[in-house]
Amino acid sequence: MADLLLEFKDVNTFYGDMHALKNVNYTIERGEIVCLLGGNACGKSTTMKTIMGVVRPASGSVTFDGQVISNLATSERVRRGIAPVLEARRLFPRMTVYENLELGAYTQPRGPQFEQDLERVYALFPRVKERRDQLAGTLSGGEQQMVAIGRALMARPRLICMDEPSMGLSPLFVEQVFDIIQEINRQGTTIFMVEQNANMALSIAHRAYVLQTGEVVLSGTAAEMRENEMIKQAYLGEMQVEAA
């Protein structure tokens, strides 16, 4: 377990009276792509919020890079190397693409490193470079998702938490986005993602967890998941029909 990057240990999180996460355990190792599957209101978003520190667990611990982070402020978590790609992208609509990227680097020192990171994002997304002076709110959904991923990269993260990266995108863009996620992972960033599109997610993930009403009911490698009858029925059903 030397390569452990993020760990949830018996985490319980409540929203008022609702028990959103029940004794949840995750382990994410350096260099992995791990995806989190589950239906609506199963605790996927709560998981992301717990990692970012938007909600605090009532019990249990969240460990990042060997240190307990459950009580740290969000800003400190970002500083330590966790960056989010938020659900529905959530760019700052009346700021330029460039300014959005700058804000992604908010916790980083300004200097040659910033320019380097910017070049890296522009290399991954030439489209983002073309649009850099445009207001983010005027971009198409796919372009916005590119900026959202670029913005996360500007924080020099060791872990990127993605909440529904394919949501609202055309199938063509979905494929592009997943290619990019794989490329970012190959360059050394660990990815933890929540995704409705289980078929797509399992095609690039190394491992997966399945959440049901706040509990982890299944976990394993992506290959095992694709063969699992329950997964096939619950999440890959449409794909099976299409393939048949």
Partner 1 sequence: MTTADLILQQLINGVSLGAMYALLALGFTLVYGILELINFSHFNIFMVGSFVALMTLDAFGLKGQTVVLTGLPLAGVLLVAFLVTMVATGVLGVGIERFLLRRVRHVKGPAAMITTIGVSYILLNVVLLTTGADAKNFPNPLPAVHYDIGGAVLRLREILIWIIAFVLMGGLSYFVNRTRLGKAMRATAQDPDAARMMGIEVDRVIMTAFFVGSALAGAGGLIFGLYYNFTSASVGFVAGLRAFTAAVLGGIGNVPGAMVGGLIIGLIEASGGQLIATAWTDVVIFSILVLVLVFRPSGLFGRMAPNKS
Whichever of 159 and 198 has its CB closer to partner 1, that residue is: 159
The answer to whether 9 and 18 have CB atoms below 8 angstroms apart is: no
Least Cβ distance, residue 31 to partner 1 (angstroms):
23
CA–chain centroid gap for 97, Å, is: 20
Q: Which residues bind partner 1 (CB under 8 A)?
A: 52, 54, 73-75, 78-79, 84, 86, 90-95, 99, 102-104, 106-107, 110, 151, 155
Nearer to partner 1 by Cβ, of 9 and 120: the residue is 120
In Å, how far are 95, 100, 139, 172, 215 from 133, measured between CA atoms?
9, 10, 11, 25, 44
Give the H or E element holding residue 22.
strand 18-29
Instruction: Between 78 and 198, name the residue whose CB sits nearer to partner 1.
Output: 78
* C-alpha span between 147 and 139 (Å, rounded): 9
